[in-house]
Amino acid sequence: VEVQRSDLVAEHVGQTGPKTRKMIEQARGGVLFVDEAYRLVKSADGKDFGPEAIEEIMQDMTTGDPLVIMAGYRDDMRKFLDANAGLARRFPITIDFPNYTTEELAAIFELKLHTAGFRLAPGVTSREVAEALSKHTT
């Protein structure tokens, strides 16, 4: 089950725990994948229920069911793990995936095209695809 902040955090006191619990239960026997997990850390003004979602998830992490994967950008995830004393201990393994180069993305794009039964237009090269990706993406 893939979730993000809006799937876990509610707007009013007392609603985040049950909302998060529902997602945990849906993921039983599988994986709870929390994308952009760092967005659950308390906001600067302190009026935030994200930490409640973190606490709810941490209650189930000792059982291993569901398997919990927290994902996000490297620097943001470091801050996330530092935000709660129990988090770093519960996530002793972190995996940093380097960004793809535009050449690698062009190769993936071509592979997907071929798999779907398509091909680049005549005269269009992988290098041109990589250059277009470099020019039009961040």
> How far, in Å, CA of 65 to CA of 85, rounded?
21
Q: Which of 126, 99, 122 is nearest to 112 (CA)?
A: 126
- Which residues, including other chains, have CB under 8 Å from residue 38's CB and lie 6 or more apart? 72, 73, 76, 77, 79, 80
What is the arithmetic mean of pLDDT over 17-39? 94
pLDDT digits (tens, 9 = 90+) for 96-136: 988 899 999 999 999 999 999 999 999 999 999 999 999 99
The pTM (predicted TM-score) of the whole model is 0.74
Q: Decide if 66 contacts 29 (C-beta within 8 A).
A: yes
